[in-house]
Each structure stands twice: as structure tokens, then as C-alpha cells.
Amino acid sequence: MKYSYKLILALCIIGLLSGCNKIIEEDDTPAGAIDQLSITGRIIDHNNQPVKNIPVVFYFFRSGYIESLNRKKATSMTDENGIYKFTIFRKTDENKKGIETYYYLYPDIDGKKYFKIAKYFYDIDAFWTERYHILSDYILWEGQYVKVIAKTKPKDAKRYEIECELERPLDYLGKYLYSYEMDIKVPLHQDLKFTMKWDGKCNRTVFVKKDNLPKQIDLSYIPE
């Protein structure tokens, strides 16, 4: 019996170390559906102009201790006005609770060229109380990686953080982006404020005007 307990414990540890089984599937059909609703939204650029021919995908996600499920439920292409439309079918197992359960959508685009930011719907039961959802506009931001140069630093400084304050927020990411590497991805077409912090203290700040973003920025420490 003791051997069985040890075996179970060993299997649990192996499972935790290796991660849970990830199930990825696609199910956008009405077969077995217990409910359905419609979603409409619009993709626009930084100038509030519609972005056409952009694929948008809608997913259901549920995590668990043993396995997680990521289900693609619908795909739509934006029209000339940037409009996308979904018909979503709710399946029986989407009533099950997990460690984390939600719906989400995002434009299926190049994550290097753009900021690929998802819209989340965490309260699934509340989501299904409405038969028709009109979502707020999704702003598609182009992005660029900027290399940071820091040839000098304060004496005895050990830890650094790069902060970029934005002119306009990036959805739930807000108006501040952070990096602990010597590069940072930032949105184009915005005024930006770069700050290098050593051990939590602000030591160097550089302002960049929109559409003048260089490929690298010098945030070297300058003694007072």
C-alpha cells in the first residue's frame, strides 16, 4: 500500500513538472449546441480608419489540473468597413468549470508586426444572457522592437527595468509597457516616453515624438 502512495505521488509530481495535457480543437458547428448568439465588432487603425481583410478568431478556453482545452469556435474576415461577425454555438461542456474558464477573441495577424491583444469574456454565464453582442472597436496597433543601449549604470546598481509610457493605452495593457531585457516592443504612431530604472529608481528618460521612432535608444546613466 505504501508503494502505491509513493507511485501516485511520483506520477503527480511528473504531471506537474511536465504540465497538463493541452487539447486544441475546432468546433464551429451547431451540432450538439445548447444555445447560440451573435457577435459584431469592428477593427480600426490608429487613425480610426477601418481595417479590412483581417481574420478574427473566437475561442473558448478551460484550464484544469490534468488537461486544458482551447477550442476555436468561429472565424470571421473583416469587410471593407472593418466589421466582423460571428455566430457562436455553446456546447454542453462549456458549462463545466475549470481552474480558469473564459471566451476570448483576437485578430489572427502577424504578432511581430502588430500588437496581438485579446478581448476576454470571463463571466461565461453572463455572456450568454444576451443574444446579440456589439463589441467596442478594436484598435489594431502596429508595433516595433527598439533596442536599448545602456553603456553606463549607477555605481553598485544590480537590477534594471525599462519602462515606456504611451500617449494612448493599449487596451488592458494600459499606458505603460515594461521590459527586463535590452529591447522592448512599442506601438508606432504615438508619442513615447522611455525610462531606464536601476534598482527601482528613475535614472534616465528619453522622449520620442510619434513617427520618429529610432531602432535603438540610448538610456545610459548620466551622473547628476
The pLDDT value given to residue 112:
85
Co-location of 50 and 131 in the same domain: yes
Co-location of 98 and 193 in the same domain: no
Whether this prediction's pTM lies above 0.85 is answered by no
The pLDDT value given to residue 5:
52
pLDDT (tens digit, 9 = 90+) per residue, 6-44? 544 444 444 444 445 777 778 878 888 999 999 999 999
The pLDDT value given to residue 4:
55
Classify residue 205: in a domain, yes or no.
yes
- In terms of residue numbers, what domain contains 118? 20-139
Classify residue 158: in a domain, yes or no.
yes
CATH code, domain with 72: 2.60.40.10
Classify residue 174: in a domain, yes or no.
yes
The pLDDT value given to residue 65:
77
Domain count, the chain: 2
Query: Which residue is listed with cell 519602462?
Result: 163
The pLDDT value given to residue 79:
97
Co-location of 188 and 107 in the same domain: no
The pLDDT value given to residue 67:
81
Classify residue 52: in a domain, yes or no.
yes
Co-location of 115 and 153 in the same domain: no
**Nearest by Cα to 95 from 30, 40, 33:** 33
pLDDT < 70 positions in the chain: 1-20
pLDDT (tens digit, 9 = 90+) per residue, 153-166? 898 888 999 999 99
Domain final position from 139, 172, 201: 139
